[in-house]
């Protein structure tokens, strides 16, 4: 089950964290992975990890907020590969702040990456998927799209957009064989979390890590590989009847507080 043999998958933000975990797992399940990341170095590291384990991957530096660059990258990929079976829209940035502390530049930056980036990549991918008779789009969303989170004004705005873009894509292309779903994680232990703690709470990293972990009812943060496992299901043929859905992966955060 959950084989991705002979499938081509594009994963954005695959240089670290959730994106890298998804890329490594998908390659292990037989997919050829197109690793896209703003950092050429980080993307190359992910691709090297995959190929070093006997998998198939190619890394390309890509700014998902640049529509022209995205179209060029997807055109190059589709020229090399017979199909584009799945896109995992994972690239994104975080922001901490309320309505009153968020600046216009913050809003512009988050819109460009978290919303426009998802749009750019989905548009390029779905165009190919419709032409070939189907495919899968999986967006990384957040529980911030489903509940109020303190100090996450701009970030929550972008993830609300990702949620509704997911529903729209699923609705508009259901008869062209394109499925679209999203995963809504709670806090995931990624390098971003470690960097945030180091910058914000120097000397108190362990204490604050425990506090952030305890904020989930289950008592810990999610692991990137747990997100990857759900992503694998949603991009596999076993999920062929699943579209237009948002999946909370939240340790009980939405319903058990």
Q: Which pLDDT score is estimated for 192?
A: 85
Residues 60, 205: Cα–Cα separation, whole Å: 34
Catalytic residue among 111, 155, 167, 196: 155
CA dist., res. 61 & res. 67, Å (int): 14
As a whole number of angstroms, the distance between CA 7 and CA 134 comes to: 12
Domain boundaries, the chain: 8-186+225-240, 187-221
Decide: helix, strand or coil at residue 100. Answer: coil
pLDDT of residue 257: 78
The Cα 88–Cα 22 span in angstroms is 9
Please identify which residue in the block is written with the tokens 């499938």.
Answer: 7
Using alpha carbons, list the distances in angstroms from residue 97 to 179, 208, 246. Answer: 34, 18, 25
User: Which residues lie below 8 Å from residue 154, measured CB to CB, with a gap of 6+?
Assistant: 95, 97, 102, 106, 107, 110
Rounded Cα–Cα distance for residues 129 and 133 (Å): 6
- pTM for this model (two decimals): 0.96
Using CA atoms, how far apart are residues 122 and 136, in angstroms rounded to an integer?
Answer: 10
- Catalytic residue flag (residue 155): yes
Q: Domain 8-186+225-240 adopts which CATH fold?
A: Rossmann fold (3.40.50)
Full pLDDT tens readout for the chain, 257 residues: 999 999 999 999 999 999 999 999 999 999 999 999 999 999 999 999 999 999 999 999 999 999 999 999 999 999 999 999 999 999 999 999 999 999 999 999 999 999 999 999 999 999 999 999 999 999 999 999 999 999 999 999 999 999 999 999 999 999 999 999 999 999 999 988 998 899 989 999 999 999 999 989 999 999 999 999 999 999 999 999 999 999 999 999 999 87
Distance between CA atoms of residues 183 and 225, nearest Å: 13
What sign does the dihedral 169-172-174-176 (CA atoms) show?
Answer: negative
């Amino acid at each position: 089950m959950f084989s991705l043999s002979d499938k081509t998958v594009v994963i954005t933000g695959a240089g670290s964290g959730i994106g890298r975990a998804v890329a490594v797992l998908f390659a292990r399940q037989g997919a050829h992975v197109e690793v896209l990341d703003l950092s050429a170095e980080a993307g190359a590291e992910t691709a090297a990890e995959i190929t070093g384990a006997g998998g198939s991957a190619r890394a390309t530096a890509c700014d998902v907020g640049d529509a022209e660059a995205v179209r060029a990258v997807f055109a190059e990929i589709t020229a090399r590969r017979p199909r584009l079976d799945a896109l995992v829209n994972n690239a994104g940035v975080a922001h901490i702040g309320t309505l009153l502390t968020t600046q216009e530049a913050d809003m512009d930056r988050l819109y460009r990456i978290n919303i426009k980036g998802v749009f750019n990549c989905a548009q390029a991918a779905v165009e190919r998927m419709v032409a070939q008779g189907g495919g899968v789009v999986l967006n990384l969303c957040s529980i911030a799209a489903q509940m109020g989170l303190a100090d996450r004004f701009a970030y929550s705005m972008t993830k609300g957009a990702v949620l509704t873009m997911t529903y729209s894509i699923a609705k508009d292309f259901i008869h062209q064989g394109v499925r679209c779903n999203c995963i809504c994680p709670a806090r995931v232990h990624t390098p971003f979390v470690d960097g945030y703690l180091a910058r914000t709470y120097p000397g108190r990293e362990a204490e604050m890590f425990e506090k952030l972990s305890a904020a989930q009812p289950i008592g810990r943060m999610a692991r990137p590989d747990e997100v990857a496992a759900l992503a694998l299901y949603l991009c596999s043929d076993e999920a062929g009847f699943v579209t237009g859905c948002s999946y909370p992966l939240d340790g009980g955060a939405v319903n058990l507080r």
